[in-house]
Amino acid sequence: MNRRNFLKFAGLAGGTIAAATAGKALAAGTGSGGGAVGSETEFVGMLVDTTKCIGCRSCEEACNQANNLPAPKESFSSEEVFKLRRDTTPEAFTVVNRYENPKDPSKPIFARKQCMHCNQPGCASACLVRALEKKPEGPIVYNKERCMGCRYCMIACPFDIPKYEYQSATPFVKKCIFCYSRLKKGEKPACAEACPEGATLFGTRRELLEEARRRIYTEPDRYHNKVYGEHEVGGTGWLYLSSVPFEKIGMKTNLGTTPLPEHTSGFLFGVPHVFVLWPTLLAGLAYMNRDKGDDGQGGGKGHE
């Protein structure tokens, strides 16, 4: 390869990578209608009304069965699990925790934890191989065949949701995928279908926001005046209502409203250049210098 062809190749590769990176960043955006940019499909979501939750853990059991997860150590009817604050695990994509109710100590508050399915997910933007993918309908799904195990998604998630199977010989990342296969068949997520109190409501994100605001407006004494997830990190698919400030029920309230990919887009834009273009450029320069060196040696011999 001569100098001219090498420079052409490097320029073409750079343009292709830049276009692909820009396209990915665009695809991660959110349109004014609540769906992905350029898509007419609205994001779906969930409204969790913690004032309705009775801590029955039916959502946990339904999630366990829908995802073929192993049986838990404590049965789903046991209240022993509420003695400790639980986090999601590779074997439990949804967990319900119990919190004290400062308004009425006799009635504890139950709040569930699972993937929030961010409108502009940090996990998906951090994934170099699109193992985590934001679907047009809103769910963030996991493509295990693409995963290379870097676990950047775990660092990028502001809610600490993706979990890694450290104990497995063939580990993967595990998290709630919004029962995406059920959604494609026109069914509700298993947890929403199983909730006996209507504490987990499924619908489009736009409809759920309207419902949440209606409940706050019509029952101001019942609800804390905020819909959690409406603006956090650019908005999430899962929305919460509570009778108390959200930090009282274990929710992070210091996340800000800026989508996390906007903080990392500059770095991520440079990753392909570092890992692809830079080695290509160095290899090309080394190759041309070698040719130049060979020519110089040959010319020297010719003078002898």
Provide the pLDDT for residue 49: 98
Give percent of the chain with pLDDT exceeding 70.
Answer: 75
Provide the pLDDT for residue 263: 76
Q: Is the CA virtual torsion 230, 236, 239, 243 positive or negative?
A: negative
pLDDT in tens, 216-248: 999 999 999 999 999 999 999 999 999 999 999
Tell the residue number behind the tokens 């969930």, with chain if given. 46
Provide the pLDDT for residue 38: 63
d(CA 66, CA 64): 6
d(CA 118, CA 157): 9
Closest CA to 97 of 48, 25, 31: 48
pLDDT greater than 90 at residue 180: yes
Q: How far is CA 177 from CA 19, 101, 133, in A?
A: 29, 31, 10
Provide the pLDDT for residue 276: 61
Mean pLDDT of 42-53: 97
d(CA 228, CA 248): 13
3-state secondary structure of 239: strand
Provide the pLDDT for residue 37: 59
Provide the pLDDT for residue 19: 45
Provide the pLDDT for residue 18: 47
Closest CA to 118 of 83, 153, 72, 71: 153
pLDDT in tens, 111-121: 999 999 999 99
Is the model more confident about 134 or about 19? Answer: 134
**Using 50, 70 and 90 to split pLDDT, how confident is the model at 25?**
very low
Provide the pLDDT for residue 70: 96
d(CA 244, CA 223): 7
CB 146 within 8 Å of CB 130: yes
pLDDT greater than 70 at residue 109: yes
Provide the pLDDT for residue 298: 46
Among 6-15, 121-130, 282-291, the range scoring the smallest mean pLDDT is: 6-15
Provide the pLDDT for residue 61: 98
pLDDT in tens, 246-304: 999 999 999 999 998 887 666 555 665 665 666 666 777 776 766 665 555 544 444 43
β-strands 140-142, 132-134 pairing: antiparallel
